[in-house]
Amino acid sequence: MSLFEKFETAKLLKSGLATAGADPTGVVFDTLNSPTEGVVDGRAIILAGTNNYLGLTFNPECIAAGVAALESQGTGTTGSRMANGSYASHGKLEEELADFFQWPHAMVFSTGYAANLGVLTALLGKEDVVLLDSDAHASLYDGCNMSGADIFRFKHNDLQSLERRLTRLKDRANRCLIVIEGMYSVLGDCAPLAEIVALKNRFGAKLLVDEAHSLGVYGEQGRGVAEAQGVLDQVDFIVGTFSKSLGAMGGFCASRHDVLSLFRYVSRPFMFTASPSPAVMATTREALKQLRTRPELRASVWANARQLYGGLKALGLELGPEVGPVVAVRSKDRQTALANWNQLLESGVYVNMMLPPATPGGGSFLRCSISAAHSAGQIQTIIEKFSKL
């Protein structure tokens, strides 16, 4: 087998996408007019697949903060914090994240993906064990694989499966990290965190929760599913991203354990990746401030989510198991998903197409993500476009 033969499968995938219409990997937005509106090939498009949950990407205060940082500190850091030092805004954002979670420690990474790789490879080693939810994000899988730890999957959100895994570990349970997400990004279902916390306490394991898609949306203060289920004080590590509710780019880890402060010395993605730019730090800090001071944003997300979920459910479509900012519509097969995604795009609605193998149970889904910035009229238009598929 030659070096390039392995790409034959990718070539077939590309060909199949092209024959069905537009290739999702090649969609280009000519302009973005707001958090919920753009233009593709000259057509006005409602954006319903951006993960822009709080709608802050065009927020005037966030933009002004970014512009001020660009003008005063330049376009980039040109190196890692280990090599080039930290900007004051890196430390301030870490302090503000720690205060947000009411924990002593927080650490900023250049992307959410890097945060998961950086935390898991720092935390885990060859003598350790990780129990990983089968529907966990690719970045969590990759971080666990790179760590060298023994990896065992348990069935998605299945407490009996997790308990069996923990029981089999016996004395190794105290060297075990359970890795889950708060809200899962394809179907929008949430982990039974209270029950998982009870199991991890019983067996002496540790727990890492990826709140990438739930930050800003769940919990009275927007801290995520762990807060919403009343167990934040018993979680060991929270990881997340700035690229969704905070409308920027970057990632973080927060923890109640002092060991997080030592990750800076051993986490290779942190040590060898250029640090986030001053503008990104500035917009993220302002977005975090707005998350904390504008609870009406969360109220808008949930009102829109209920409207969309209820409207699509009334059409008889098969949806994810619970109402939330992610609303996934199951297609009967891959070709139907491709055809429907193209029809929606042509009719003025952009959603995410989720195809196997990167989907739960190998299903094909059209995935909508709801923003606080969507109007009720836009949500109704999305429902009407789905009704014509």
Structure tokens at 114: 């890097």
Closest CA to 180 of 158, 201, 164: 158
Burial class of residue 239 in the structure, from the number of CB atoms within 10 Å of its CB (0-12 exposed, 13-18 middle, 19+ buried): buried
Q: Which of 200, 213, 374, 385 is catalytic?
A: 213
Distance CA 28, CA 218 (A): 31
Strands 206-210 and 237-241: parallel
Verify whether residue 374 is a known catalytic residue.
no
User: Is the bond into 357 cis (omega within 30 degrees of 0)?
Assistant: yes
151 - beta bridge partners?
130
Verify whether residue 332 is a known catalytic residue.
no
Q: Which of 89, 139, 147, 185 is catalytic?
A: 185
Helix, strand or coil, per DSSP, at residue 330: strand
For residue 78, give Cα distances in angstroms to 69, 264, 274, 275, 283: 15, 18, 6, 8, 19
> DSSP letters along 183-207, please?
B-TTT--B--HHHHHHHHHHHT-EE
Farthest CA pair distance, the chain: 62
Residue pair 117/142 in contact (Cβ under 8 Å)? The answer is yes
Burial class of residue 21 in the structure, from the number of CB atoms within 10 Å of its CB (0-12 exposed, 13-18 middle, 19+ buried): middle
Q: Which of 90, 137, 244, 374 is catalytic?
A: 244
For residue 246, give Cα distances in angstroms to 62, 67, 86, 312: 10, 17, 21, 27
Verify whether residue 185 is a known catalytic residue.
yes
Instruction: Please identify every residue annotated as catalytic.
Output: 185, 213, 244
